[in-house]
Amino acid sequence: MASIRELHHQLIQKERTAVELAEAALARMDALEPQIKSFLTVTADQALAQARRVDAQIAAGEPIGLLAGIPIGIKDNMCTQGIRTTCGSRILETFVPPYESTVTQRLQQAGAVMVGKTNMDEFAMGSSTETSAYQVTANPWDVERVPGGSSGGSAAAVAAGECVVSLGSDTGGSIRQPASLCGVVGMKPTYGLVSRYGLVAFASSLDQIGPFGRSVEDVALVLQAIAGHDPHDATSLDVEIPDYAAALKPDFKPRGKLRIGIIKETFGEGLDATVEAAVTQAVEQMQAMGAEVQVVSCPQFRYGLPTYYIIAPSEASANLARYDGVKFGYRHDDPENLLDMYVKTRSEGFGAEVKRRIMIGTYVLSAGYYDAYYLKAQKVRTLIKQDFERAFQQVDVLVSPTSPTTAFRAGEKTDDPLGMYLLDLMTIPVNLAGLPAISLPCGFDAQGLPIGLQLIGNVLREDLLLSVAHAYEQATEWHKRKPPLAV
């Protein structure tokens, strides 16, 4: 599919209708879903109804926004009124939300056309979309490999051309890592920039919703629509939202001297040599474009993984306590008593990875361990944040690989939880510090699998991040390559 801006031009020039765009997306999904399995729920009727409304506006001579008529996929942990929202879990298999999330409501107001709810790791806990209770999503570049996670369905759907853009959520890298593995652009905004109202919680102090697209501009346009204060979310930031698309420039010159910092701690042991070479080449490209490059040390970066795997499971343990079979979701049929219902409902409804994290979280929050684990982790989180603050006194943007490897084969790491957790090594510290970051394509390995470059910005500097990412994108050809299934 073409870009948002190109499709918008076709719509207002009446070269194509919104219904035709929706039908094309749905036809592509029909053709590719048996192989890709990106979607858990296809909303064909709603999509066509939304498209017809856009066409009626155009026919009446009313102006439409850039997102009007654009097919979009929504990760299945965002509440959609009247449409099943499962979080990739059996425990919510029949859950139909009675209300709309703020982000999907804002997209509806912008005229976007939702074609379906995308597959994900159960309750966003995973890095490969293999913990979904329903299906394993394939990577469009090689269907034997994973698309990353937990927003693997959203990333794969965009890469395969099943929708133009999509939404994911990022708790420790769940937008950026699948964007890297699927060769698309994915952005995690500053914590609080995008409302979490209606996002089913995993770890409330870390979760953030963000967009996927095939280009930086498409991501900027979606972010524009969903960003902004929301009184329904107590952590929502009440700040002025800049024009992200207007910030995009073809080079670095309008901003004066751009200072880029390479995070020393993200290179070394565990990093695939091909990934390291591609990221190094990307930095050299930015240097050739006029950026000033220096190496920056964030010494606490290496403590990001253990810190995250104390804080995130602790918050998950509290958030997932509500799934008890009483108020909503799955309930065991024939319990002996109330306690038996709780035990059997949760045993049957939750998958192995979710149970593992609930148990870890409950343990570290228990009496006698809270100070030793959770409190200490929060202190280290502050040290990680301070590392970033010091780094941004020296540079404007930080650079690292997004993922230490390219996409691995399905099943390769399912029996190795620690190996799976290590895939988020580069992305987790950003969530702990609440910073914005973006992943964009910067090369391919010998198997033709995409490699992602992560750019990290200071708080609320999405405009600068998008500008730098766009300038790099325009100077390279990586984003123009399409996976075999999308050609």
- Give the per-residue pLDDT at 418: 82
CA 79 – CA 100 distance, rounded (Å): 5
CA 357 – CA 367 distance, rounded (Å): 18
Single-letter code of the amino acid located at 270:
G
Q: Which residues of the chain have pLDDT under 50?
A: none
Q: From 436, 479, 442, select the one nearest 458 (Cα to Cα).
A: 436
- Give the per-residue pLDDT at 255: 58
Return all residues near 238 (Cβ < 8 A) that are at least 6 apart.
229
> What letter does residue 70 receive in the DSSP assignment?
-
The tokens of 385 are what? 């944040």
The tokens of 437 are what? 């970051």
- Give the per-residue pLDDT at 450: 98
Kindly list the domain boundaries of the chain, sorted by start residue: 4-249+437-454+463-486
CA 84 – CA 43 distance, rounded (Å): 10
Say if CB 338 and CB 427 are below 8 A apart: no
Is the pTM above the cut of 0.85?
A: yes
- Give the per-residue pLDDT at 486: 63
- Give the per-residue pLDDT at 139: 98
The 3-state DSSP class for residue 193 equals coil
- Give the per-residue pLDDT at 414: 87
Residues labelled as active-site residues = 75, 150, 174
CA 72 – CA 92 distance, rounded (Å): 23
Residue with tokens 């390769």: 412
C-alpha dist (Å) from residue 12 to 215, 443, 471: 21, 35, 28
- Give the per-residue pLDDT at 246: 95
CATH fold for domain 4-249+437-454+463-486:
Amidase signature (AS) enzymes (3.90.1300)
**Three-state secondary structure readout of 385-408:** HHHHHHHHHHCCEEEEECCCCCCC
In terms of DSSP H, where are the helices of 249-399?
273-288, 304-319, 338-349, 352-365, 376-394
Concatenating the DSSP letter of every residue in 226-250 gives HBS--TT-TT----PPP-TTTT--S
Bridge partners for 263 per DSSP:
296
Looking from the CA of 336 toward its CB, the CA atoms found within 13 Å total 4
Tell me the residue length of the chain. 487
C-alpha dist (Å) from residue 329 to 84, 120, 193, 324, 417: 11, 18, 30, 8, 27
CA 181 – CA 424 distance, rounded (Å): 12
Q: Which uninterrupted H or E stretch holds 168?
A: strand 165-170
In terms of DSSP H, where are the helices of 127-195?
152-159, 176-182
